[in-house]
Amino acid sequence: MDATRIIAVRHGETAWNVDTRIQGHLDIPLNDTGLWQARQLGLALAGEPVGAIYASDLQRAHATAQAVAEATGAPLTPEPGLRERSFGELQGRTFAEIEAELPEQARRWRKRDPLFAPEGGESLTALRARIAATVQRLAARHCGELVVLVAHGGVLDVLYRLATGQELQAPRTWQLTNAAINRLLWTPDGLTLIGWADTQHLDHASRDETLT
């Protein structure tokens, strides 16, 4: 069976990213910087032979993916399985607020307890199982092709761990930059890391020049 090439992307920036406010399943739009990042991403991928684009159905991911669809002409399909981790009652709070108001939950989150699920939310173990199953299902449809997956920071973190064999509790030493290009290879045996955190398309032009 031919491998499936994957470009995995975290959505562009939102105001809540800037405020370090937990978004989870809340549907927060891109800010002006995020919209610019999405356009730059589309330009960077315009020459790639993209066969299909799948995006989380939350608008910050879908809008980022739409810019790629417009640049490449590839079909875009919403995929709820690519949503960010649900943080339940923690959603809408900043990191500082969680530390102050819910110190025990903050401690378990900080220690990356794989079984910790905020009230009404999802554990890291559940998130990994959801993302692994979703990527397996999508990639298997496109053997021999290149697909783009547009998702969220937590999703990209899981993909990196799956591709490198890192445990959920291993300290993160890799970047999860908004709108960076990350490349993976999928076969029925799993994911392999090809390249990570390519931000050249975000470095070569200033946002102010693009928005004027």
CA 98/CA 154 separation, integer angstroms? 18
204 is catalytic: no
Q: Which domains does the chain have, with CATH numbers?
A: 4-211 (3.40.50.1240)
The pLDDT tens digits of the residues spanning 120-146 come to 999 999 999 999 999 999 999 999 999
Q: Residues of the chain with pLDDT > 90: what percent? A: 93
11 is catalytic: yes
Q: Residues of the chain with pLDDT > 70: what percent? A: 95
Two tokens, residue 187: 């076969």
The pLDDT tens digits of the residues spanning 85-106 come to 999 999 999 999 999 999 999 9
Q: Which entry of 84, 122, 152, 201 is annotated as an active-site residue?
A: 84
pLDDT recorded at residue 23: 97
Which residues are CB-neighbours of 167 under 8 A, at least 6 positions away? 161
Q: Is the pTM of this model over 0.75?
A: yes
pLDDT band for 210, please (50, 70, 90 cuts): very low
Question: How many residues in the chain?
Answer: 212
pLDDT recorded at residue 208: 46
Minimal CA–CA distance to 172: which of 187, 156, 191? Answer: 156
CA 3/CA 152 separation, integer angstroms? 24
Cross-strand pairs, 29:
none
